[in-house]
Amino acid sequence: MPTSKLNIQATSGKQYIYNFSEGAAEGDATMKNLLGGKGANLAEMANIGLPVPPGFTISTEVCTYYYDHNKTFPSGLFEHDIPDALAKLETALGKRFGDSANPLLLSVRSGARASMPGMMDTILNLGLNDTTVEALAEQSGNPRFAWDCYRRFVQMYGDVVLELRPADSRQPDPFEKILDEHKKALGVTLDTELETEDLKKIVMAYKEAIKTETGKEFPEDPRQQLQGAIGAVFGSWNNERAVVYRKLNHIPGYWGTACNVQAMVFGNMGPTSGTGVAFTRDAATGENIFYGEYLMNAQGEDVVAGTRTPLTISQLEEENPGIYRQLDGIRSRLEQHYRDMMDIEFTIENGKLFMLQCRVGKRTGLAAIRIAYDMCMEGLIDEKEALLRIEPQQLNQLLRPVFDQHEKQSAIDSGRLLATGLNAGPGAATGRICFSAQKAEEVRKKGDTAILVRIETSPEDIKGMSLAEGILTERGGMTSHAALVARQMGKVCVAGCGALDIDYSRGELRIEGKNTLLKEGDYISIDGTTGEVLQGEISTRNSEVIEVLADKTLKPEEAPTWNIFDHIMRWSDKYRKLKIRTNADQPDQADLAVSFGAEGIGLCRTEHMFFGGERIDAMREMILADDIEGRKKALDKLLPYQRDDFYGLFRAMGSRPVTIRLLDPPLHEFLPHGDKEIEALAAKFGKPYHDVRNRIDNLHEFNPMLGLRGCRLGILHPEIPAMQVRAIIEAACRLKKEGHDIIPEIMVPLVGTVRELEITSEIIHRVARRVMAEQESGVTYLVGTMIEVPRAAMTSGDIAKAADFFSYGTNDLTQMGLGMSRDDSGQFLPSYQNYDIYQHNPFESLDQDGIGRLIQLSAKEGRTVKPELKLGICGEHGGDPDTIAFCHSLSLNYVSCSPFRIPIARLAAARAALMA
């Protein structure tokens, strides 16, 4: 067919390869989609003249092609494109790939758009074989070095490409096992103690193991090696841990990874060589200090692997001031250039520094906030940018509990401080020791909290990490896998706690130099802000921000973290268009919400007010009454309670608007169901047991969510809303007499047709007029409705005629719109998300395509009929940043969320406005 011909031409005409070398690159930092983050930043660093070993990036389009075409590559890629790029490298470096005298060696590295630390594979020293290793030995005059490289290469290639791997994470790595056996036999502990001859034997043993275990031969031909490695990099995009990581981080599968092929530089050439990783600022606290770790005579991931304990960058300053100065210069170059905190990887080859990677550094919420604030103060970025740098959820970390200091101190005094590790992820966590993800899952199922305790973590552990409250590791530094991932997940983490002695097989944890023996399942507490590890449970205490704002136990001037928080909030308020209200039904909740910045109450659920003490009796009396007289009598008892509730709430909110929803749930929710309780209730009301039982049975509904509830209750029993409206207006009149003008917003739930709203409104107006006449007072009030039944959304033009405001009740709207019960969705939603049917849980983040369209249509029709119609959203979604951005895009007036989410909502609303 002619089309296929066209396709081939189009494919082979495409640029799949982008070269880079110091001072000149075909790509740049903006090309992440095509080159992946690593490739784009290698190009950018090269462009600004930083010392980057030359190489080329094979674009993500090749990866997409690979998966779209049954794991094959575009035609010409291995025939022309790659050989051409290789030839350029060879010319630039004066080396030849596979040459027996002066061989070019390569690293082959994966790199997706978003960084996925450690999820995909990298192969170093590619191009080595039995011939070229001798050349490298000759050239460097260092046979041990050459064989160390070869040993590493065969190991990486055997693992990544030829797939000789442990069956599961509890088994030892087959290569590590061989290495350990040789070390044991030789009586040495460090890799660096192995001699050339030892390394040769290990290489032989590796190759044999590959052959016997996989049936595959280790390829001697460098070109074959390269093709295998590139295939493996693209293949690693779909390995299990990468898939899990993508799910957790909402990275779509179609992005694909790029593949970077780069000339090797060697950190393992001897004592003047080394390798390291660093952050341009402290990634845990955000402090403006150079933070990093390095190892001399080491290669690749030795630093993060946690097998040798690395030195800190401040030690580099002492031991090698020249290199340190160079590195520090690059640090500020990079911060000035990227205007952000960067995470860098570097290698020193015989005293010369090379940059191997840079990317915007992952950081804790605390650090993100501090860095954004500091950089704004330093003039590197402006307020708007500072706000855009902070993910709203990160504010959680400022609100997160810390240990109760007294309890912690007494734990320390009584000898329960077990050890101190690195403070890799701030916050306080207590939970049961779990050595595996399975155990963490078990513990969580029982409603307990888990602390994942591992010698070191690897990408296989991410599931366990996400389940755990905190993560504790024996090995690894601030840039170890555990620390990096914990920070990203916002988990409490103590890393590199060397005093721990973990025995997985016995399920035991011992502490060096102590008699303590802890078992899996015992309680342990970790302080990710100080690095302390303590035995047993310790209760947690509120954060600085909470102490200033809510508890008022700390003065603002003594609270530096609060000061930053306060700036961020004030900047947010400057740019946001949405008002932020809260869902609250008690005065103390309202107080808390106001101190967090609530500008009103968007949802007061009156049913919560009927549960306490004698109220529930009066409520039950009302429900069980035989006739309207009986109901009225009971409602008269409830009235004073309701009036006081509203009075308290209005007072707490001052002049801010308060939306009160009339009684919503089905009545049976207020009744007992056990025989004993029903007997007791019957006795209390002096009624025969069977009458009460019958009445309760009569109230039974097959589908209470869709039964007699919401406005239907008031239409059948007008005396119920009448009592509530009376309480509302009486409370408002009382406040008016005290000099406060309150404008209550009375909200009718579960309206589906305008008639329902009209009938209920008549009741409201009738009662309100009567109360005002009695009180000889006038109160302005609004009557509006929730939009939570799809029919209401579809007929919003009609409904708007009878409403002063709409509030989108997205919980019910989602349930009814999706035909999916929130309380039963746990059964199937996880699988649904696995199938990508819904990317997010639609009860947490609004389903914008479906439910969002209902809201959009409703808002538009409502406003067409009544331009001044007030629009807001209540329900769980009101505190979700994506939903908030959506509400901003529809120009709603406000979002309403629970008090603790208000700071997040303020920032999210500002970001939505700034990004629009």
SS3 864: helix
Residue 591 contact, options ligand ADP, Mg ion, none, Cβ 5-8 Å cut-off depending on partner type: none
264 or 594: CB nearest ligand ADP: 264
Cα–Cα distance measured from residue 194 to residue 179, given in angstroms and rounded to the nearest whole number: 10
From the list 117-125, 203-211, 221-229, 805-813, the region that binds ligand ADP by CB under 6 A is 117-125
CB 480 within 8 A of CB 473: yes
Provide, rounded to whole angstroms, the least separation between the CB of residue 345 and Mg ion. Answer: 5
- Residue 275 or 858: the one with the smaller Cβ distance to ligand ADP is 275
Q: Tokens 């919420």 identify what position?
A: 365
At closest approach, how far in Å is the CB of 831 from ligand ADP? 31
Query: Tell me, what DSSP letter sits at residue 96?
Result: E
* Of the candidates 186, 567, 149, the residue with the CA atom closest to the CA atom of residue 373: 567
Helix (H), strand (E) at residue 517: strand 517-519
CA 688/CA 255 separation, integer angstroms: 69
- Region of 371 please: left (phi>0), alpha (psi -120 to 50) or beta: alpha
Which of Mg ion, ligand ADP, none interacts with 815 (beta carbon under 5 to 8 A by kind)?
none
Give strand pairing partners of 527: 428, 532
Q: What is the DSSP string of 207-270?
A: HHHHHHHH-PPPP--HHHHHHHHHHHHHHHTTSHHHHHHHHHHT--GGG-EEEEEEE---S-SS
CA 21, 23, 28, 29: dihedral to nearest 10 degrees? 100
Least distance to ligand ADP, CB of residue 248, Å: 17
Is 888 an active-site residue?
no
Give the one residue of 47, 57, 107, 883 binding ligand ADP; rule: CB under 6 A. Answer: 107
Nearer to ligand ADP, 118 or 862 (CB): 118
* Closer to ligand ADP by Cβ: residue 41 or 807: 41
Decide: is 122 part of the binding site for ligand ADP (CB under 6 A): yes
What residues line the site for Mg ion (CB under 5 A)? 118, 122, 345, 357
CB under 6 A: which stretch of 118-126, 180-188, 284-292, 627-635 binds ligand ADP? 118-126
In angstroms, the CA 608 to CA 640 distance is 16
Name the active-site residue from 358, 874, 887, 897: 874
Beta strands in 6-118 (DSSP E): 17-21, 24-25, 55-58, 96-97, 103-104, 106-112
108 vs 652, beta carbon nearer Mg ion: 108
* C-beta of 149 vs 376, nearer to ligand ADP: 149
Number of Cβ atoms within 10 Å of the Cβ of 412: 13
Per partner kind, with CB cut-offs from 5 to 8 A, the member of Mg ion, ligand ADP, none near residue 744 is none
CB of 841 to ligand ADP, least distance (A): 30
Provide the mask over 83-102, with x wherever binding to ligand ADP is found by CB under 6 A and - wherever it is not.
Answer: --------------------
Query: What character string, x for contact with ligand ADP (CB under 6 A) and - otherwise, covers 342-371?
Result: ---x-x--------xx--------------
Q: How far is the CB of 591 from Mg ion (least distance, A)?
A: 49
In 3D, which of 44, 54, 52 has the Cα closest to residue 19?
54
What x/- string results for residues 270 through 299 when contact with ligand ADP is judged by CB under 6 A?
A: -----x------------------------
Which one among 34, 154, 229, 264 touches ligand ADP, defined by CB under 6 A? 264
Residue nearest ligand ADP by beta-carbon distance = 109
Q: How far apart are CA 529 and CA 520, in angstroms?
A: 24
User: What DSSP assignment string belongs to 688-700?
Assistant: -HHHHHHHHHHH-
Please give the residues from 35 up to 64 whose contact with ligand ADP meets the rule CB under 6 A.
Answer: 53
Asked if 566 and 557 touch (Cβ cutoff 8 Å), the reply is no
Place of tokens 């993060």: 304
Name the amino acid, one letter, at 901. Answer: R
Q: Which of 58, 62, 242, 265 binds ligand ADP (CB under 6 A)?
A: 265
Q: For the chain, how are helix, strand and coil distributed in percent, rounded to 5?
A: 50, 15, 30
- CA dist 261 and 250 (Å) reads 27
Strand runs (DSSP E) across 361-458, as ranges? 402-403, 417-420, 422-425, 428-434, 450-454
CB 485 within 8 A of CB 364: no
Closest to 656 in 3D by CA, of 710, 597, 578? 597
Region from 84-92, 188-196, 263-271, 660-668 binding ligand ADP, contact rule CB under 6 A = 263-271
Query: Total number of residues binding ligand ADP (CB under 6 A)?
Result: 17
Report if residue 448 touches ligand ADP, rule: CB under 6 A: no
User: Of 256-264, 459-467, 676-684, 758-766, which segment contacts ligand ADP by CB under 6 A?
Assistant: 256-264
In this complex, which beta carbon is closest to Mg ion, that of residue 122 or of residue 457? 122
Q: CB of 392: closest distance to ligand ADP in angstroms?
A: 28
The residue annotated as part of the active site, out of 481, 717, 877, 888, is 481
Q: Is 345 in a helix, a strand, or coil? A: strand
569, 903 contact by CB (below 8 A): yes
Judged by CB, which is closer to Mg ion: 134, or 345? Answer: 345
Assess whether 604 carries a catalytic annotation.
no
Query: How far is it, in rounded angstroms, from Cα 325 to Cα 690?
Result: 88
- Residue from 37, 98, 118, 292 that binds ligand ADP (CB under 6 A)? 118
CA distance 299 to 95: 21
Stretch that binds ligand ADP, among 260-268, 549-557, 736-744, 871-879 (CB under 6 A): 260-268
| Helices of type H across 576-627 | 587-595, 613-624
C-alpha to C-alpha distance for 271 and 266, rounded to whole angstroms: 12
Number of H helices, E strands in the chain: 37, 34
Q: Which is nearer to ligand ADP, 122 or 285 (CB)?
A: 122
Tell me which stretch binds ligand ADP (CB under 6 A): 82-90, 258-266, 447-455, 543-551: 258-266
109 binds, among ligand ADP, Mg ion, none (CB under 5 to 8 A by kind): ligand ADP
Closest separation between CB of residue 267 and ligand ADP, Å? 7
- Residue 183 has phi, psi (to 5 degrees) of -60, -45
Judged by beta carbon distances under 5 to 8 A according to partner kind, the member of Mg ion, ligand ADP, none in contact with residue 107 is: ligand ADP
Distance separating alpha carbons of residues 44 and 872, to the nearest angstrom: 45
Residue 357 or 893: the one with the smaller Cβ distance to ligand ADP is 357
With beta carbons less than 8 A apart as the criterion, state whether 501 and 490 touch: no
User: Applying CB under 6 A, which part among 169-177, 261-269, 381-389, 545-553 lies near ligand ADP?
Assistant: 261-269
Q: How far is the CB of 122 from Mg ion (least distance, A)?
A: 5
Q: How far is the CB of 116 from Mg ion (least distance, A)?
A: 10
Q: Residue 583's binding partner, choosing from Mg ion, ligand ADP, none, with beta-carbon cut-off 5 to 8 A by kind?
A: none
- Of 32, 109, 281, 432, which one interacts with ligand ADP (CB under 6 A)? 109
**Closest to ligand ADP by CB, 265 or 678:** 265
Cα dihedral 612, 614, 617, 618 sign? negative
Sequence-distant (6+) residues with CB within 8 A of 712 are: 750, 756
Kindly identify the residues of this chain, within the stretch 746-805, that bind ligand ADP according to CB under 6 A: none
Please state the closest distance from residue 184 (CB atom) to Mg ion, in A. 27
Distance of closest approach, residue 662 Cβ to Mg ion, in angstroms: 58
Span 824-843, contacts to ligand ADP by CB under 6 A: none
Q: How far is the CB of 122 from ligand ADP (least distance, A)?
A: 4
Query: Which residues form the interface with ligand ADP (CB under 6 A)?
Result: 53, 107, 109, 118, 122, 124, 262-265, 275, 300-301, 345, 347, 356-357
- Positions annotated as catalytic residues are 481, 874
